Amino acid sequence: MNPFPHIIADEIARNFVLVVLIVLLIMSTFLVLTAIILRKKHERDEAYRLRKKEELYPLMLNYLDLDPGDRKAVEKAESDIIKRLKTARDLEVIEDLCLEIMYNIAGAEKLKLRQLLLIQPLYTQRYRQLKSWKVENLIQGCLYFVNVINQRSNVLEQIFPLIENRSVLVLHTAASAIFAYDDVVTRGRALKQVCMRTGISEMALLELVYKFHNKEFDQMDEEVSELIGIISDRSVPNVNRGVIIKSVADIGYATMADYLHDMISGMHDTDNGVIANSLIHAMGRFEYTDAAGLLTEKFSSSPDVAIRETLADTLGKLGNTASIPVLIGMTADNDFGVRVRAVYALAALGKPGYEALRHMEGTEDEIQRIAASIIAQLETGKNKTEK
């Protein structure tokens, strides 16, 4: 009796096995061959791109050296370059080349390159990509518009809706492209649209606020009024408003410190914890020393642990010795994290805070130990500087 009646009952089954084997054999050969063909194709492609790059490089350098006032020469140089762009691959080569040079230079030459990127075939292709359904096309299109000089409204009309795209990457590139515009109101509108979305990570939003800020021209005041518009709009999700509040000090909107201070004064107990936390944070980053009293008054008895933690950190950063009694009180907080932060904050307040640490009594062992080690550390540091 055959133990595998269902498998090799007869010749047919055996032939079946043979067929399977042959199929497998063909498949493996196919895989190996594909791998090798791909590699060869890739090598050819690389070689082509390299050649193209070598061909274009001198033309580009030449173009960079031209006087922008000499329209004739510039146009001739441009048409020389365009003549050499025949395929989509060529367009990629010139775009990469421009970006590569742009990465290293600034000023007039950079502007020239941003102008050069606008050459017809490239512009048309990238503009068309903005209407595509494919994520990678959208990204490529948006990235292009990050780097060119462009104030055309038809481009904006295409890019704005992309902020609503499901892919975070498309959102990010689209917003970056709009932030390359000089007009603050347009940028503000884009930033607000970004902020209306939920689920954007803090890191991504911080980066976008940074890009919103124009580094080449001084537009601080206009930018501030756009930012205030977003912060004060209650329809914007709190998390995102919080991130913007936190970011303004880092980017250097010094004039916003007072606005945020007033915002704290006007806060009621019912207000959102995320916003409160960000505001305290921002005061610390602005080093707004005079805010210490207001912060203490508003938040030292907050039921929210996270707020009390941020408060302790911030009071340390603000360096206002009037906060010492409050911080000593906080070393007996009922949350361990707050207690530890209060000790570190006292240490950050310089000599008076350090004296307060030394005479701290009645707290638990763990906190005493942390205080003792900080004192020891400060003393070794002092000895070193005296030497």
Partner 1 sequence: MEFIREFLAWFNSGILVYFIMLNVTYIILVTISFFYVRNQLKRKKVYDLTGLFTSKLYLPVSILAPAYNEEANIISSVRALLQLEFPEFQVVVINDGSTDGTLQMLIDHYKLNKVDKYYPLIINHQPVNDVYESELFPELTVIDKKNGRKADALNAGLNIARHDLVCSIDADSILEPDVLKKMLRAFMEDEETVAVGGIVRVANGCTFSQGRIQKIDTPKSFLGRIQVVEYLRAFLFGRVGWDYLNSLLIISGAFGIFDRRAVMRAGGYLHDTVGEDMELVMRLHHYYRIKKIPYKIRFLAEPVCWTEVPEDVATLSRQRNRWQRGLVDSLWRHRRMMFNPKYGRLGFLAMPFFVIFEMLGPVIEFLGWIAILVALLIGAISWPFFFAFLAAAVFLGMILSLASVLCEEFTFRRYPKTKHVLILSLYAFFENFGYRQMHTWWRLKGLFDFVRGRREWGDMERKGLDSST
Partner 2 sequence: MSGKNPLILLIEDNPSVIRLLEFKLSKENFRFEHRDNGHDGIEAVKQLRPDIVVLDVMLPGIDGFEVLRQIRQDEQIKDTRVMMLTSKNMEDDLERGFAMGAMEYMSKPFKLGEFMIRLKRILN
Interface contacts to partner 1, rule CB under 8 A: 1, 3-4, 6-8, 14, 17-18, 20-21, 24-25, 27-28, 31-32, 34-36, 38-40, 42-43, 99-100, 103, 135-136, 139-140, 143, 146-147, 168-169, 172-173, 176, 199-204, 206-207, 210-211, 247, 250, 336, 340, 366, 369-370, 372-374, 376-377, 380
Structure tokens at 18: 């043979």
Residue 61 contacts which entry, partner 2, partner 1, none (Cβ below 5-8 A, type-dependent): partner 2
**Minimum distance from residue 362 beta carbon to partner 2 (Å):** 44
- At a CB cut-off of 8 Å and minimum separation 6, what does 304 contact? 273, 276, 277
Residue 147 contacts which entry, partner 1, partner 2, none (Cβ below 5-8 A, type-dependent): partner 1
Report the residue number, 64 or 322, with the smaller CB distance to partner 2. 64
What sign results for the dihedral spanned by CA atoms 85, 86, 91, 94? Answer: negative
Residue 146 contacts which entry, partner 2, partner 1, none (Cβ below 5-8 A, type-dependent): partner 1
Residue 104 contacts which entry, partner 2, partner 1, none (Cβ below 5-8 A, type-dependent): partner 2
Residue 370 contacts which entry, partner 1, partner 2, none (Cβ below 5-8 A, type-dependent): partner 1
**Minimum distance from residue 77 beta carbon to partner 1 (Å):** 24
Residue 140 contacts which entry, partner 1, partner 2, none (Cβ below 5-8 A, type-dependent): partner 1
What is the four-CA torsion angle of 101, 172, 280, 252, rounded to 10 degrees?
30
Report the residue number, 20 or 108, with the smaller CB distance to partner 2. 108
Report the residue number, 97 or 311, with the smaller CB distance to partner 1. 97
**Minimum distance from residue 240 beta carbon to partner 2 (Å):** 27
Q: At what angle do helices 11-65 and 88-104 cross, to 10 degrees?
A: 50
Residue 107 contacts which entry, partner 1, partner 2, none (Cβ below 5-8 A, type-dependent): partner 2
Report the residue number, 182 or 210, with the smaller CB distance to partner 1. 210
**Minimum distance from residue 101 beta carbon to partner 2 (Å):** 6
Residue 199 contacts which entry, partner 1, partner 2, none (Cβ below 5-8 A, type-dependent): partner 1
**Minimum distance from residue 70 beta carbon to partner 2 (Å):** 16
**Minimum distance from residue 112 beta carbon to partner 2 (Å):** 11
Residue 15 contacts which entry, partner 2, partner 1, none (Cβ below 5-8 A, type-dependent): none
Query: What 3-state class would DSSP assign to 349?
Result: coil
Report the residue number, 100 or 221, with the smaller CB distance to partner 1. 100
Report the residue number, 16 or 57, with the smaller CB distance to partner 2. 57
**Minimum distance from residue 312 beta carbon to partner 1 (Å):** 14
Q: Count of CB atoms within 10 A of residue 311's CB?
A: 32
Interacting residues toward partner 2 by CB under 8 A: 57, 61, 64-65, 100-110
Which one-letter DSSP state was computed for residue 47?
Answer: H
CA dist 208 to 169, 188, 223, 375, Å? 12, 11, 13, 41
Q: In angstroms, rounded to a whole number, what is the distance separating the alpha carbons of residues 24 and 245?
A: 61
Q: In angstroms, rounded to a whole number, what is the distance separating the alpha carbons of residues 275 and 243?
A: 9
Q: Do you know the residue count of the chain?
A: 387
Residue type, 284: G
Q: In angstroms, rounded to a whole number, what is the distance separating the alpha carbons of residues 173 and 179?
A: 10
Q: In angstroms, rounded to a whole number, what is the distance separating the alpha carbons of residues 283 and 292?
A: 9
How much is the CA Rg of the chain, to the nearest whole Å? 31
- At a CB cut-off of 8 Å and minimum separation 6, what does 27 contact? none
**Minimum distance from residue 208 beta carbon to partner 2 (Å):** 19
Report the residue number, 102 or 349, with the smaller CB distance to partner 2. 102
The b-or-e profile of 50-80 (16+ CB within 10 A means b, else e) is eebeeebeebbeebbeeeeeeeeebeebbee
- Phi then psi for 344, rounded to 5 degrees? -60, -35
